[in-house]
Homo-oligomer: A and B are copies of this chain.
Amino acid sequence: MAPPCAIDPSPEVTAITDTAAVTLPDFLAAPIQSNEIGKRRRKAREGQWGIAAPSDTRDFRFRNYEGKPKAKRWDHYFSHEARVRKGNRLKGAAKFLTSKPGIISLGGGLPSSEYFPFEEVSIKVPARGKFSEAETKESGVVITAGKHDLANMKSTYDIATAFNYGQGSGSAQLLRWVTEHTEFVHSPPYQDWQCTLTIGSTSGWDMTLRMMTRPGDCILAEEYTFSAAVETALPLGVRMVGVPIDSDGLIPEAMDDILTNWDVNERGARKPHLLYTIPTGQNPTGATISGPRRRELYNVCQKHDIFIVEDEPYFFLQMQPYTGPNAPDVPPPVNHNEFLKTLVPSFLSMDTDGRVLRMDSFSKVMAPGSRIGWITASEQFIHKYQQYADVSTQNPSGISQLVLFKLLDEHWGHDGYLDWLIHMRMEYTKRRDVILGACEKHLPRSIVSWNPPMAGMFHWMKVDFKQHPDYPQKSIETIEEEIFMRVIDHGALVMRGSWFYASEEDAHDTLFFRATYGAAKADQIEEAVRRFGVAIREEFGLDKEMDEKVNGLITPEG
């Protein structure tokens, strides 16, 4: 496959040192000086690369924030545990090590790297622009981390460092990379934003709930939302209140209504102070909130003092416009600048108040097994998050961090990663088009309807349950259950919409199924959709042939 956009994929950069010029995304050429990141990097403090060394994400930002507003204070929302938690005392003692040159530490209980039974770690990864599995087999590049590369001046990161203990922030090495990436993609418009690594967004959400809510709270979310996010909250005594959505996601007026008319007695909870949203390629609905609507939602959050958690694993699975089964495909973005322009603006990018906590993840664009994500939020939150991590999750796996650092920072660099993301965009576009084509071919439009997803990995299909022969004798949930089991009988698995209710207590009068096009191969996706169609037809007592004629899919010849 040709590289998705016009870059030179030839230089196989296997080690970028801090003093080397850093290859820059071409989009950066215009707005800021051409090697702004490189300049910032050259000022890096040596000390932060060491074992469990503290680092500060502010040191990795390359823009000037003078004159920008500072985040509002969020103390009134922090939970008791977040307020009283102090730092990890032993990790804090590391500061004495920098106070005296030549000091010998018998302090921290860190084992010697002498006893890590790992001399080298190598990964074979795609060369820039040659991203497919077949190309990687053919032309993949092997990059290697040695045990003492840092001491030997071969790299800023190595096994001796990455495989030892670390800080709750994650290593300076990878934290720098995600901070730079966040800054040039989102350019947060306030002064004191920071990043911290997480062990994945599921944990990030659990920790956020424990820091920002208390038992009995209600929080807002899309009325259909990621079920694990609900399951994380419920045992903490935190209920979700579903905000009505349409095909473009959260409806600002509906959210404003809920908040304006919140009745503490009736609801049995204080007015919500937190919105959990998956704004892009939402799980399960696939909906993406447009830029203008995000701004309206942000305004509603300002009006009601709502803290926004934007959970964005699918942000870079935004796809090409859908042109239908018979129209030509839209060509890929011509360069990084164009690519970044196609992306819907994040809540973070419009966050002048520091009220947004953004959760990013490598799970959908690199590998879920890395268990690495990151959070961007105001310093107040990040500091408390790191204190929490230091006595709980610690840092993400150092093995994972080293592997991602070698690939993202030293091998691909920022612009190689943008190429990869464009590759992912084109691949997911193909997959999305496969499932939509299959749905158009195999599903009875009189019963099943959908909107083409513009981002993410989920296709959300509405079933007109009122046409079911057993309605209204049977409830929505019973009809859903019966369809679900019949689909399984026919050899396909799709997820039941009711599993994604933000609140099971509310009444629901819609019936959906969620199908993902992210995993199965194209012919399997088509076959599974066909099986789903057969099950639907059987359930609704439809004559397949008649229906296909109605849909114009059976030509006069056959």
Contacts and interface: CB of A to CB of B under 8 A. Distances in A.
A131 interface: yes
A74 to B, nearest CB: 17
A489 to B, nearest CB: 7
A123 B120 contact: yes
Contact of A163 (B119, B367, B458, B518): B367
B163 A369 contact: yes
Contact of A492 (B106, B515, B527, B531): B106
Interface stretch (A27-35, A54-62, A91-99): A91-99
Given A84-B234, A163-B367, A369-B163, A427 B524 contact: no
A133 B114 contact: yes
A24 interface: no
B235 A84 contact: yes
A529 to B, nearest CB: 8
A339 to B, nearest CB: 17
A280 B412 CA distance: 46
A502 to B, nearest CB: 14
Interface in A216-243: 227-228, 231-232, 234-237
A110 B369 contact: no
Contact of A88 (B104, B231, B489, B495): B231
A391 interface: yes
A199 B118 CA distance: 20
Given A109-B457, A392-B206, A495-B93, A166 B121 contact: no
B228 A90 contact: yes
B90 A166 contact: no
What DSSP secondary structure best describes chain A's contact surface?
Answer: mixed
A121 B122 contact: yes
Contact of A518 (B111, B136, B166): B111
Given A109-B283, A200-B394, A103 B370 contact: no
Contact of A106 (B166, B364, B494): B494
Interface string A148-187: 0000000000000011111000000000000000000000
Contacts of A401: 369
A420 interface: yes
A127 B363 CA distance: 34
A501 to B, nearest CB: 11
Nearest to A395: B371
Contact of A368 (B106, B165, B200): B165
B203 A100 contact: no
A45 interface: no
A422 to B, nearest CB: 13
B369 A166 contact: yes
A392 B165 contact: no
Contacts of A119: 124-126, 133, 136-137, 140
A129 interface: no
B123 A118 contact: yes
A53 interface: no
A100 B488 contact: yes
A309 interface: no
A111 B362 CA distance: 11
Given A104-B493, A492-B106, A397 B394 contact: no
Interface in A354-413: 363-372, 390-403, 407
Contact of A495 (B107, B122, B368, B489): B107
Contacts of A368: 110-111, 163-165, 398
Given A86-B231, A104-B520, A363 B111 contact: yes
A392 B205 CA distance: 8
A222 to B, nearest CB: 15
Given A100-B488, A117-B420, 5 more contacts: A104-B531, A105-B493, A120-B122, A120-B140, A393-B393
The 8 closest A-B pairs by CB, nearest first: A369-B398, A397-B397, A163-B369, A163-B367, A106-B515, A120-B124, A81-B235, A104-B528
18 contacts: A88-B228, A89-B499, A104-B528, A105-B493, A110-B368, A110-B519, A111-B364, A111-B367, A117-B136, A119-B124, A119-B125, A119-B126, A122-B142, A133-B147, A162-B369, A199-B393, A228-B390, A399-B403
Interface of A: 80-82, 84-86, 88-90, 93, 96-97, 99-100, 102-112, 114-126, 131, 133, 136-137, 140, 142, 147, 162-166, 199-200, 202-203, 206, 227-228, 231-232, 234-237, 283, 363-372, 390-403, 407, 420, 424, 427, 435, 457-458, 488-489, 491-495, 499, 515-520, 524-525, 527-529, 531-532
